[in-house]
Chains A and B, each alone.
Chain A
């Protein structure tokens, strides 16, 4: 067992956890933040993407102890009060999802993209988002949504 301290979505969290606890399980089981999904368990589908110290990581392939002392942002931490993050709004407005299970990962990965490159081209978006599988949309509306969020457009 280890005691870890992590800032999660801006709030300090201290927990005693077993060493083998995965970051995704720490978020989902220990903290009840079930917005982060597990889809493939091998870091390919991107559904479990969270930001660890600002970097997008696959939380299914990180131990929670590795986040000790760090800062984690999940989908639950994006909206400010009742105001959605522009990416969240754009995914709704542009139909960037159907079933929605990959959406938290898509939004977290695209958040990291816009943090690093506020005005990406469609090619840059695809290059960045290749690690987030979606089986419903054929990706077109996801890319549109990210472009719209980057352009701060709110309506289609």
Chain B
């Protein structure tokens, strides 16, 4: 796989490909995931879920269930304190504790099929399941509202009685939680200046992250009010904040131990089982494990929003974009908080456009509360814009990548929401794809087509802590609070090894629980290698500083007289007599020079995220003209990755995101019946790609170093999911002449479009005769 280097590789460890430190545990089955924890006396919790999409809960009776031998406790929302309604900053997210609590256990109303209503703890999972059947819930069914369009109609049934927004005012119940707008220049004048204006409408389906590990948590409650939860999460500190708010306990009383995590992709950045396991543990005095089945995961954990989007873009015949307007409504699910805002912030940010207007709406519907999914909000948004750009390029007769390069954002371009880009690699990324063997190869054969598209994700920063301990034998431990979801332990060890001049296998990375390391935000937003990596870098530098002090003391000079290079301390050549000591030699003398050396650092990156990331993708497809089925023949993704710490794992992120984008494009979707009950609650009918559905995904790493990071690290985890749906739509057009404007582009949908296209062509031909 090609690596385009701009970063000057002056590094010893960074940029190499060592094997991962957690590898052996994972190939031998020893790695402990959420469901793998066992404690003496442990009970098993199961959750009763609503069969209705929208209903009032009139009563819950559980005396029969409590009498079943083996049942130890039953909890409902009545067991939770009524949480504060005002949204609060919790870690990196704005959350209303009340809504969060209502999502954990329904209070008064159920708002989606699968909404938790009660939970049981019993001596075996089987007994707990049987007990659920004995709980009697009296519901008053209400009319479900399943799409943003329906929910925004005047007179639509209202999901949340007290939901209001600024525009409609304090007296108007509504399903619209937020309207966000970004404006620049003179839109009308911009469209007037264009030679070609295209306006189109798009829809995308609700899709799930599809991590293979279902959620699981074990709660343990001590009589003194201190508690521990073992859980699979992307953010142990986030769980601590959210769960303690919902449970009404001091934050410091809860220890969160993150398990190994079997995928998350954004979906494990909130709480589901954790407060329920803790509540049941408190009530029973036993450890309680709550695990979800796959159908519970699909019905009731946060997928990402389906959206309705309108895109209007104007270009001059030379290819200069003069104006763009985007309108988007995101389905938040049952409670406010879709990724509408990041969608609006990324939708057209790859381009330098003088006049624009972006409107975004966050709309509640009777679907599960959405959660983050890899570049949240960006993929659905890009689908419309990147398809319209393809159409414009065709209309004015220029190469679609040239159109993107010509209008591409660069250093100095102001983003629609304010900040000005520092050094970025969008144009380099498009140019790398344009120069690729794939893009320049000839695609032959009937019903085949090639499409391209680009994508942007800003990447998060936030807060991280790290400690680096040097052991007496000169090896080191790196402790962080960042859950390792895709190999970040390797990157953390590599960064510390780089600074300390140690071989990579002499640095052990550790992911600590919330009592054992400083506050660290969630593993999300492509931030870990950037922000936690920066904390590790600084903590290792802190070690170096202390090593120099020790050496200076021994050599009776000042620390400024000591150099540290590649694991060796030396006196500067121009002072005193030459002295030299390796880190290992010094470590053996820690006991006599002031005790152990502990380096530590914390970072809060503020507004500066992990460096904007851009991807561009080229896809070849073949369409079966009789069935509408699409085969992906070849895919190449180019991405600006900053300095690739571990190129193989960077490639893995690009391949994984592209694969998810392909699934989103072709076959993944939530299918509800007319009553709002989810029909495809399993992996047979929620169709993620198998190995037979994907070609080997080719990657081009474009290394434009991020100026805000000491090693030039840029976030790499997310943007690869953004361009595939639009690229595939553009490829389908080249193969068939049909423009697809609805996701997924599944066989029934594409077949229908193909038939309409043929009918209209026949109609035109007949009219022409």
Residues of A within 8 A of B (CB): 18, 20, 28, 32-42, 44-45, 47, 74-76, 78-79, 84, 87-89, 91-93, 95, 97-104, 107, 125-127, 129-143, 156
Contacts and interface: CB of A to CB of B under 8 A. Distances in A.
Contact of A136 (B23, B260, B263): B263
Nearest to A93: B19
B294 A42 contact: yes
B691 A139 contact: yes
Interface stretch (B509-517, B601-609, B611-619, B654-662): B654-662
B684 A41 contact: no
B691 A39 contact: no
B439 to A, nearest CB: 20
B478 to A, nearest CB: 20
Interface in B527-552: none
Contacts of A125: 691
A79 B295 CA distance: 34
A113 B515 CA distance: 45
Contacts, number: 171
Contacts of B688: 133, 135
Interface stretch (B28-36, B173-181, B196-204): B28-36
Contact of A98 (B36, B213, B652, B684): B652
A79 B23 CA distance: 14
B263 A35 contact: no
B355 to A, nearest CB: 39
A35 B25 CA distance: 10
Given A76-B29, A130-B690, 18 more contacts: A37-B35, A41-B295, A44-B682, A87-B27, A92-B20, A95-B649, A97-B27, A98-B263, A98-B649, A99-B213, A99-B261, A101-B33, A101-B260, A102-B212, A136-B652, A138-B659, A138-B697, A139-B659
Given A93-B19, A130-B691, A42 B26 contact: no
Interface string B273-295: 00000000000000000000111
Contacts of B25: 100
B719 to A, nearest CB: 15
A142 B655 CA distance: 12
A141 B29 contact: no
A34 B696 contact: no
Given A92-B27, A100-B262, A135 B655 contact: no
In order of increasing CB-CB distance, the 3 nearest A-B pairs are A35-B29, A101-B262, A100-B26
Given A41-B294, A135-B265, A129 B691 contact: yes
A92 B210 contact: no
A140 B28 contact: no
A98 B406 CA distance: 37
Interface of B: 17, 19-20, 22-33, 35-36, 38, 126, 209-214, 260-265, 293-295, 485-487, 648-649, 652, 655-656, 658-660, 682-684, 688, 690-692, 694, 696-697
Contacts of B655: 137-138, 140-141
Max chain B Cβ within 10 angstroms of own Cβ: one of A75, A98, A137, A156: A98
B151 to A, nearest CB: 30
Given A84-B24, A126-B692, A140-B655, A98 B32 contact: no
A10 to B, nearest CB: 15
A39 B487 contact: no
A143 B691 contact: yes
A135 B656 contact: yes
A42 B262 contact: no
B672 to A, nearest CB: 20
Max chain B Cβ within 10 angstroms of own Cβ: one of A100, A143, A156: A100
Max chain A Cβ within 10 angstroms of own Cβ: one of B209, B262, B649, B659: B262
Nearest to B262: A101
Nearest to A89: B27
Contacts of A37: 33, 35, 212-213, 262
24 contacts: A34-B36, A37-B213, A39-B212, A39-B294, A40-B682, A42-B682, A42-B683, A84-B24, A88-B28, A95-B487, A97-B26, A99-B261, A99-B262, A99-B485, A101-B263, A130-B690, A133-B690, A134-B691, A135-B656, A137-B655, A137-B659, A140-B697, A141-B648, A156-B17
Nearest to B484: A99
A44 to B, nearest CB: 4
A37 B232 CA distance: 14
B294 A40 contact: yes
Contacts of B485: 98-99
Given A84-B24, A100-B31, A135 B38 contact: no
B26 A103 contact: yes
A39 B20 CA distance: 24
A47 B721 CA distance: 24
A135 B23 contact: no
Contacts of A130: 690-692
Given A92-B24, A103-B26, A140-B696, A133 B212 contact: yes
B263 A138 contact: no
Given A75-B29, A93-B19, A139-B659, A99 B692 contact: no
Contacts of B214: 38-39
A42 B684 contact: yes
Contacts of B658: 138
A42 B214 CA distance: 13
B262 to A, nearest CB: 3
B294 A98 contact: no
A151 B403 CA distance: 46
B505 to A, nearest CB: 13
Given A44-B684, A74-B29, A130-B690, A100 B656 contact: no
A143 to B, nearest CB: 7
A17 to B, nearest CB: 12
B493 to A, nearest CB: 15
Contacts of A104: 27, 29
Contacts of A34: 29, 32-33, 35-36
A92 to B, nearest CB: 4
Max chain B Cβ within 10 angstroms of own Cβ: one of A44, A107, A136: A136
A35 B17 contact: no
B652 A137 contact: yes
Given A44-B682, A133-B688, A135-B656, A88 B27 contact: yes
B263 A135 contact: yes
A98 B24 contact: no
B638 to A, nearest CB: 16
Contact of B28 (A76, A142, A156): A76
B28 A84 contact: yes
B213 A39 contact: yes
Contacts of A39: 212-214, 262, 294, 683
A65 to B, nearest CB: 15
Contacts of A42: 294, 682-684
A35 B29 CA distance: 4
A139 B694 contact: yes
Max chain B Cβ within 10 angstroms of own Cβ: one of A36, A87, A88: A88
